[in-house]
Every structure is written in structure tokens, then in C-alpha cells.
Amino acid sequence: EALALLNNASTLERLHLKAKFAWRSGNWVAARDAYRGLSEQGAFAEDGKNEAALEAQAALAVRWAVSAAMLGAEDELAMIGQRFEGKAKDPKLASALAMLTTPTRPRGEAIAAARAAIAGLDTVTKNIGAYQAAQRRSDTSAKSG
């Protein structure tokens, strides 16, 4: 079933699935690469996105930062911090992102705090899928209209 999903998925959907599977399996290199790919494909663009979509992006940014932190990618963490500073409205996400991307924080402590914040994101993750489905429907109706 997963292979069928991948074969019929757009590039963004493939990257989301790759990131999700890599994250769950603890494959930090693949997860970081997938989040980078999402960034390059415009998944983190803010144009025309509602608050729920922006919060979903913040959740993805925290996961990206955790994967970069697990690999010791300090330059990438700094870039993520600059890019997403102040954009997460959820206090747990904002705190986790700040902790991960602040160079003076002990990495182990920051990773543990971020993982704890992410543990409560199951509903946010489900909302990402719902948002993406709604976005695809609106994109399709806009193109056909």
C-alpha cells in the first residue's frame, strides 16, 4: 500500500511520506534530507496559507531541527532558527524550536525537550494531512474554474 501511495504521489507528497517514515524509524539522515527537499519544493512558503497550515509547517520545522541536531548539523540548525524564529504560535513548538536552534543550549537537553513537544503533535500531524487534502481540492477547483 505504501508503494502504491508513493507511485501516485506528487513530489511534495513523496517527500512528506519519506520524512514521516524516516522520522519514525530514526533515520536522521533521510529525515533531514526529506525536510530539506520539502523546503526546496516550497512546502515552507507562507504565501496564502492559513494559521493551521503555518502551525503544521512549524511542526515540520521542529522535526527538521531535531533531525539536524541528531546529526550535529550546527549550520543547518542556525539556518532553521533564522528562518522559523517567531513563526510557531504553539508555545511548545516555539519553545522546542528556540531550544534546538540556540547554540548555547546543551544539545541533549534541547533534543529531549523537542521530542517531548513533538510527542503531543499527533493531532497536528493528522491536521497536516487534512490540510494537504483541502489544499489539493482547492488547487484542483481553482485550475478547473
Q: Domain locations in the chain?
A: 2-144
Report CA-CA distances (Å) from 120 to 22, 30, 56, 65, 132: 19, 23, 13, 17, 20
pLDDT digits (tens, 9 = 90+) for 67-77: 888 888 889 98
* Amino acid sitting at position 56: A
**pLDDT value at position 31?**
92
Q: What is the pLDDT of residue 34?
A: 92
DSSP 9: -
pLDDT (0 to 100) of residue 90: 82
Predicted local distance difference test score (pLDDT) of residue 145: 54
User: Model confidence over 42-92: pLDDT tens digits?
Assistant: 887 776 667 777 778 888 888 898 888 888 888 998 899 898 888 888 888
The three grid cell numbers given for residue 121, joined into one nine-digit string:
503533535
C-alpha cell at 9: 504521489
pLDDT at 3: 61
- DSSP 8-state assignment for residue 107: H
Task: Return the axis-axis angle of helices 28-40 and 11-25, rounded to nearest 10°.
Answer: 160
Q: At what angle do helices 122-144 and 51-70 cross, to 10 degrees?
A: 130
* Average pLDDT of every residue of the chain: 77
| Number of other residues whose CB lies within 10 A of the CB of residue 5 | 11
> Is 2-144 a domain of CATH 1.25.40?
yes
pLDDT above 80 (res 111): no
* Across 125-131, average pLDDT: 57
pTM of the model: 0.69
Expressed in percent and rounded to 5, the helix, strand and coil fractions of the chain are 75, 0, 25
